[in-house]
Amino acid sequence: MMNRRLFLRNSLLGGAALYSGSQLLGACRKVENLPKISLAQWSLHRQFFDKIQDPNDFATIARKTYGIEAVEYVNQFYVDSVNDEKFWAEMKRKAEDAEVKSLLIMVDNEGDLALADDDERRKSVENHFKWVDAAKLLGCHSIRVNAFGDENKEIYKEALKDGMGQLADYAAKENINVIIENHGLFSADGALISEVMNDVNKPNFGTFPDFGNWCMSAKWGSTQIPCDNVYDRYQGVADFLPYAKAVSAKSYDFDENGEDTRIDYGRLLQMVKDSEYDGYIGIEYEGSLKSEHEGILATKALIEKKWAALT
């Protein structure tokens, strides 16, 4: 199975010619005049995969380089250490020393949670348990999961309800949220995922609306490249926000005025501000025209500019 890293690298190469409940778990507090901004580790994935920077230093990088006080980790950088309690204790210490909050772990490549086969689905659910445990040790409030599975919509829906219910029950014992991010295919069907949220109805089960990934015809769902079946991003964010325990401000590329060339940040941030969501807004730069460093700075500036202009 192609992982997220390979999918994005291959897709960007191919597309370059076309376009060069309560205060559960301490996840949120009320936003006032300025947004609370976090940094998603995927924003620096090329530097980490290419060993230009050490992913174990992510919290320190977020604080010292970008002045950001909260981070979202990606499990792909820590697969070999997932069961090492001493490792997570050291990671927690590094974050605390940098005065950075560890918010969540994004979990990829641990199996599809909406498979039709009961045994296979259960195996995928159990594959996620170790990341719940790691999130607990690190001091996070959530793990983010990918809601992939069967190709039949009705089978998918019932399987996802079961898989997410099982995983949420396990995570509840550790006081951890399990949150679905729109990541393509049926997970980008905002109306469908909302139905699953209502049917499962568990306080530690929520969503992670991403400004970008609304392509329903491809896994991972990036709308940075052409897609023939896109769920309306503004409707999708509206669908997800009532259940949101994190928000991902995906960014791609910017025009001469610092605006994202695909996403209306002012419109989406107004929706976030008007909703009951009161947690962090996570920078997740995924563009190709700016360096990762420049893209993070541009996204941060755009969020702050647009937020200051909101009514």
For the chain, domain boundaries:
33-308
CATH code of 33-308, in short, is 3.20.20.150
Q: Residues 113, 161, 21, CA angle at the centre, nearest 5°?
A: 110
Walk along the chain (311 residues) and give the pLDDT tens digit of each residue: 345 544 454 444 444 333 334 334 444 434 457 899 999 999 999 999 999 999 999 999 999 999 999 999 999 999 999 999 999 999 999 999 999 999 999 999 999 999 999 999 999 999 999 999 999 999 999 999 999 999 999 999 999 999 999 999 999 999 999 999 999 999 999 999 999 999 999 999 999 999 999 999 998 888 888 899 999 999 999 999 999 999 999 999 999 999 999 999 999 999 999 998 999 999 999 999 999 999 999 999 999 999 999 98
DSSP string, 174-227: TT-EEEEEP-BGGGG-HHHHHHHHHHH--TTEEEE-BSS--BTTSBT--SSS--
Integer Cα distance of 305 and 154 in angstroms: 42
Integer Cα distance of 45 and 101 in angstroms: 20
Integer Cα distance of 56 and 52 in angstroms: 12
Q: What is the pTM of this model?
A: 0.89
